C-alpha cells in the first residue's frame, strides 16, 4: 500500500508507483515519494542535510526518508519563529479562533490519511489511532473558544479598595519549544502547540523521528487552515542534538517523554532560568473494588492495560483486585485478554497492534523473563508473535509479582500487567501510591461517592472512575499532568494555556499614595493604616 500521493488526502493510495531509491519498493506500507517530499519541505534543514529512514513497526520495512536538522538549523528555526511571533501576537483572537476551528474541520475531513500515518509510524490499532484524531479536534475546539477568556485582562482587588485599581495581564512568552514523543505522534505533537499559538506565541516543534510524518501532515493542515507562515517551525533529529538545541534556545520548553530524560531537560532549562512543563513516565494502577459490575470492569480493565499495546503514559501496568471478587474477576479478565484480536492492518476491527521497535520488544521480554525467573505466574500471553508483525507481543497477564521483580516498579511501556489481590480500599490506596510515579489511575466501583473518596487519596494527576483513562484525558477544561516523578505542570484547561504566558500585574493608584501624606507622620500613618486593616478584616474584604 502507498500512503498519500493525492491532493485530496484520501489515505491509502495505489495510484503512484514507488520510485524512491532509498526505500524498498516491495514494502507493504510506503509513503508516496511525492507526499514525503512535500512534507519534508516543511522541515528546517540545510540543503546538504543528512537524511534518516523510518521503518514501520507494522512490517519492519522502510517507509520514508526525511532530512535531519542540525543544531544550527534549530537556531535558525527559533530565529525565524521569533521574527514571526510579534506579528502573530498582534493577530486578533477572532482570527486565531477561525484558524483553529478550520483546523478542527480539516483534521476530521482528512482523518483517513492521518489515521494511516499514525498506524504506520506507531503500530497501534486504528481505534487507538482515532483517539488522536478526536483529541486533536477537541483541543482545537476548546482553545479556539476559551483562549480569549483565559487570557483577557483580569481585575483583582488592589491594596486600597477603590483607590488601587489592579489588573493582571498575560503576555506570550515568545518562542515555545515542544519536544514530543513517538507513541502519540499526532496528539502529543499538535495539541500542546495549539494553546501556545492561541496565546500569541510562535512554536518550534521537534517531533520524535518515528512520528515525523504524522506531525508534518498535521502541520500542513494547520497552514491550510490559515496559520501565517513562519509561526510554527519544524525540526527533525535526535533528542541529544535537535531536542537539546530547542531546550538551549527556546523561551519555554514543553517536553513529553521519559522521566530520566525529563530530569536532564529540567536541569538544562533551569540553567537558563527558562520555564518548562513535562509529562513523564507512569506506573499506573486500576483498582477493581468489591462493589463492581464485573462485565463492565473486565472490559474497562482490558482497555486500561492494553490500549496502544501499553505504549501510553496513562495506561495501566498494575491491576489491583479486591480479594472478595478476585476469584470471579481474574478468570473473566484472563479470558477476555486471551480473546483479544491482534493485527497490523490499516483497518478497524483489531484490539491490539504492535510495539514500536525492537527496543520496546526487548524491554517487555526482559521484564517478563525476570518476573518468571523470580516466581511470577503467566496467566495469559507471554509470547512474541512475529507472524502478526515483527514487534507484536501478546497482551500478557502476570500474578505473583513481588518487589524484587523489575516490572513491579519500573515502567514497562508495553502490554504487560501484574494482578495483585488486595483486602480493602486502604491496601489498594497504599499499593497504588507505592511508586515514584503519579500520573494516572482508575477505579471501578458502583458506589461513586466511595470511589471519589479513594480517588482523593491517590497521588496521581488524573483519576478515572468507571473508565480506563479517556474520561480525564478528554475533559479538556480540566488540567492533566503528573505528580511526583511523572511530571511538572499541566496541559489542558486554563493551566494548559497560561503556562505559555508571562503574568504581569499593573496597579494604578488614585487620590492617595500608599505612604504618609497630607501632613501625617510615618507613625500616624502606620496607626491609621492599622485601623484600616482591622476594618477590612471585619468587613470580610479579602
Tens-digit pLDDT profile for residues 354-413: 999 999 999 999 999 999 999 999 999 999 999 999 999 999 999 999 999 999 999 999
Q: Look at residue 391 and tell me if it is in a domain.
A: yes
| Three-state secondary structure of 398-461 | EECCCCCCHHHHCCCCCCEEEEEEECCHHHHHHHHHCCCEECEEEEECCCHHHHHHHHCCCCCC
Query: Does 127 lie in the same domain as 268?
Result: yes
Measured between alpha carbons, how far is 310 from 307 in angstroms, rounded to an integer?
A: 6
Average pLDDT estimate for 473-482: 98
pLDDT at 451 over 90: yes
Identify whether 313 is a catalytic site residue: yes
What pLDDT, on the 0 to 100 scale, is given for residue 18?
30
Average pLDDT estimate for 78-103: 98
Reported confidence tier of residue 28, pLDDT bands at 50, 70, 90: low
Domain extent, residue 157, equals 41-59+69-280
Query: Does 426 lie in the same domain as 335?
Result: yes
pLDDT at 62 over 50: yes
Catalytic residue among 113, 279, 317, 394: 279
What pLDDT, on the 0 to 100 scale, is given for residue 338?
98
Q: Map residue 12 onto helix, strand or coil.
A: strand
Share of the chain above pLDDT 90, in %: 92
DSSP letters spanning 492-519 = SHHHHHHTTEEEEEEEEE-SS-SS--TT
Query: Does 92 lie in the same domain as 78?
Result: yes
Domain count, the chain: 2
Instruction: For 85, list phi and psi in degrees, rounded to 5.
Output: -65, -40
Residue 90 C-alpha cell reads as 498582534
Q: What CATH number did the domain enclosing 407 receive?
A: 3.40.309.10
Query: Does 457 lie in the same domain as 381?
Result: yes
Domain boundary, last residue among 444, 464, 485: 485
Could you read off the pLDDT of 277-318 as tens digits, one per residue? 999 999 999 999 999 999 999 999 999 999 999 999 999 999
pLDDT at 231 over 90: yes
What pLDDT, on the 0 to 100 scale, is given for residue 8?
35
Find residue 164's DSSP bridge partners: 509
Q: Are 399 and 377 spatial neighbours (Cβ–Cβ below 8 Å)?
A: yes
Q: Look at residue 524 and tell me if it is in a domain.
A: no
Average pLDDT estimate for 233-253: 96
Measured between alpha carbons, how far is 30 from 1 in angstroms, rounded to an integer?
A: 7
Query: Does 302 lie in the same domain as 432?
Result: yes
pLDDT at 465 over 70: yes
Domain boundary, last residue among 464, 485, 506: 485
Query: Does 191 lie in the same domain as 105?
Result: yes
Find residue 3's DSSP bridge partners: 12, 31
pLDDT at 239 over 50: yes
Measured between alpha carbons, how far is 506 from 53 in angstroms, rounded to an integer?
A: 52
Q: Look at residue 312 and tell me if it is in a domain.
A: yes
Strand 437-438 with 416-422, pairing = unpaired
Measured between alpha carbons, how far is 230 from 241 in angstroms, rounded to an integer?
A: 22
Could you read off the pLDDT of 12-25 as tens digits, one per residue? 433 232 333 344 44
Average of per-residue pLDDT values in the chain? 94
More confident of the two residues 4 and 345 = 345
Query: Does 151 lie in the same domain as 207?
Result: yes
Q: Look at residue 30 and tell me if it is in a domain.
A: no
Identify whether 317 is a catalytic site residue: no
Q: Are 231 and 103 spatial neighbours (Cβ–Cβ below 8 Å)?
A: no
Query: Does 232 lie in the same domain as 259?
Result: yes
Place of cell 521480554: 365
Average pLDDT estimate for 164-176: 98
Find residue 417's DSSP bridge partners: 397
Q: Are 256 and 281 spatial neighbours (Cβ–Cβ below 8 Å)?
A: no
Q: Look at residue 409 and tell me if it is in a domain.
A: yes
Which residues, at least 6 apart from 212, have a Cβ–Cβ distance to it below 8 Å? 54, 66, 121, 185, 236
Cβ-count burial of 272 within 10 angstroms (0-12 exposed, 13-18 middle, 19+ buried)?
Answer: middle
CB count within 10 Å of CB 172 equals 23
Query: Does 310 lie in the same domain as 262?
Result: no
Query: Does 292 lie in the same domain as 197?
Result: no
Q: Which of 525, 315, 537 is nearest to 412 (CA)?
A: 315
Q: Are 2 and 16 spatial neighbours (Cβ–Cβ below 8 Å)?
A: yes
Instruction: For 168, list phi and psi in degrees, rounded to 5.
Output: -110, 125
What pLDDT, on the 0 to 100 scale, is given for residue 33?
84
Could you read off the pLDDT of 260-283 as tens digits, one per residue? 999 999 999 999 999 999 999 999
Place of cell 523473563: 369
Q: Look at residue 479 and tell me if it is in a domain.
A: yes
Domain boundary, last residue among 455, 485, 515: 485
Catalytic residue among 75, 113, 131, 313: 313
Q: What CATH number did the domain enclosing 151 receive?
A: 3.40.605.10
HSE at residue 44, side-chain half, CA atoms within 13 A, is 26
Residue 284 C-alpha cell reads as 499506573
Q: Look at residue 6 and tell me if it is in a domain.
A: no
Q: Look at residue 87 and tell me if it is in a domain.
A: yes
Query: Does 305 lie in the same domain as 243?
Result: no
Q: Are 100 and 476 spatial neighbours (Cβ–Cβ below 8 Å)?
A: no
Query: Does 314 lie in the same domain as 259?
Result: no
Could you read off the pLDDT of 93-128 as tens digits, one per residue? 999 999 999 999 999 999 999 999 999 999 999 999
Reported confidence tier of residue 63, pLDDT bands at 50, 70, 90: very high
Could you read off the pLDDT of 430-440 as tens digits, one per residue? 999 999 999 99
Measured between alpha carbons, how far is 179 from 247 in angstroms, rounded to an integer?
A: 9
Amino acid at each position: 500500500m502507498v500512503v498519500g500521493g493525492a491532493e485530496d488526502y484520501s489515505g491509502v493510495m495505489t495510484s503512484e508507483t514507488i520510485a524512491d531509491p532509498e526505500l524498498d519498493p516491495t514494502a507493504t506500507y510506503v509513503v508516496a515519494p511525492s507526499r514525503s517530499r512535500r512534507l519534508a519541505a516543511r522541515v528546517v534543514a540545510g540543503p546538504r542535510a543528512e537524511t534518516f529512514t523510518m521503518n514501520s513497526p507494522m512490517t519492519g520495512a522502510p517507509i520514508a526518508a526525511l532530512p535531519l536538522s542540525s543544531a544550527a538549523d534549530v537556531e535558525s528555526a527559533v530565529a525565524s519563529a521569533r521574527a514571526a511571533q510579534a506579528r502573530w501576537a498582534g493577530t486578533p483572537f477572532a482570527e486565531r479562533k477561525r484558524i483553529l476551528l478550520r483546523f478542527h474541520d480539516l483534521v476530521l475531513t482528512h482523518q483517513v490519511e492521518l489515521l494511516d500515518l499514525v498506524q504506520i509510524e506507531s503500530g497501534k490499532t486504528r481505534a487507538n489511532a482515532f483517539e488522536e484524531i478526536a483529541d486533536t479536534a477537541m483541543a482545537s475546539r476548546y482553545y479556539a473558544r476559551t483562549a480569549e477568556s483565559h487570557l483577557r485582562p483580569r481585575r483583582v482587588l488592589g491594596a486600597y479598595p477603590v483607590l488601587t485599581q489592579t489588573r493582571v495581564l498575560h503576555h506570550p512568552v515568545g518562542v515555545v519549544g515542544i519536544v514530543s514523543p513517538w507513541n502519540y505522534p499526532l496528539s502529543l505533537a499538535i495539541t500542546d502547540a495549539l494553546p501556545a499559538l492561541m496565546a500569541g506565541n510562535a512554536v518550534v516543534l521537534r517531533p520524535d523521528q518515528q512520528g515525523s510524518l504524522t506531525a508534518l501532515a498535521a502541520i500542513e493542515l494547520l497552514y491550510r487552515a490559515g496559520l501565517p507562515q513562519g509561526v510554527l517551525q519544524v525540526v527533525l533529529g535526535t533528542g541529544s542534538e535537535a531536542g537539546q538545541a530547542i531546550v538551549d534556545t527556546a523561551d519555554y520548553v514543553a517536553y513529553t517523554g521519559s522521566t530520566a530524560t525529563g530530569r536532564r531537560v529540567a536541569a538544562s532549562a533551569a540553567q537558563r532560568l527558562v520555564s518548562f512543563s513535562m509529562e513523564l513516565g507512569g506506573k499506573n494502577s486500576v483498582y477493581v473494588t468489591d462493589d463492581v459490575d464485573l462485565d463492565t470492569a473486565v472490559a474497562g480493565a482490558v482497555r486500561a492495560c492494553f490500549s496502544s499495546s501499553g505504549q501510553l503514559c496513562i495506561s495501566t501496568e498494575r491491576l489491583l483486585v479486591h480479594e472478595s471478587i478476585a476469584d470471579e474477576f481474574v478468570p473473566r479478565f484472563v479470558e477476555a485478554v486471551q480473546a483479544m484480536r491482534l493485527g497490523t492492518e490499516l483497518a478497524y476491527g483489531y484490539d491490539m497492534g504492535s510495539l514500536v521497535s525492537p527496543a520496546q520488544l526487548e524491554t517487555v521480554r526482559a521484564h517478563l523473563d525476570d518476573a518468571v525467573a523470580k516466581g511470577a505466574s503467566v496467566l495469559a500471553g507471554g509470547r512474541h508473535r512475529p507472524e502478526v508483525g515483527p514487534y507484536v507481543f501478546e497482551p500478557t497477564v502476570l500474578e505473583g509479582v513481588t518487589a524484587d521483580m523489575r516490572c513491579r516498579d519500573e515502567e514497562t511501556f508495553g502490554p504487560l500487567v501484574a494482578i495483585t489481590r488486595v483486602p480493602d480500599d486502604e491496601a489498594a490506596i497504599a499499593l497504588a501510591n507505592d511508586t515514584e510515579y503519579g500520573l494516572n489511575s482508575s477505579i471501578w466501583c458502583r458506589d461513586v461517592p466511595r470511589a471519589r473518596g479513594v480517588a482523593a487519596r491517590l497521588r496521581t494527576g488524573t483519576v478515572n472512575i468507571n473508565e480506563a483513562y479517556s474520561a480525564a484525558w478528554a475533559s479538556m477544561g480540566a488540567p492533566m499532568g503528573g505528580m511526583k516523578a511523572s511530571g511538572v505542570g499541566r496541559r489542558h484547561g486554563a493551566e494548559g494555556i497560561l503556562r505559555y504566558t508571562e503574568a504581569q500585574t499593573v496597579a494604578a493608584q488614585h487620590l492617595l499614595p500608599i505612604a504618609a501624606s497630607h501632613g501625617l507622620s510615618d507613625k500616624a500613618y502606620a496607626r491609621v493604616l492599622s485601623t484600616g486593616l482591622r476594618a477590612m478584616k471585619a468587613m470580610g474584604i479579602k
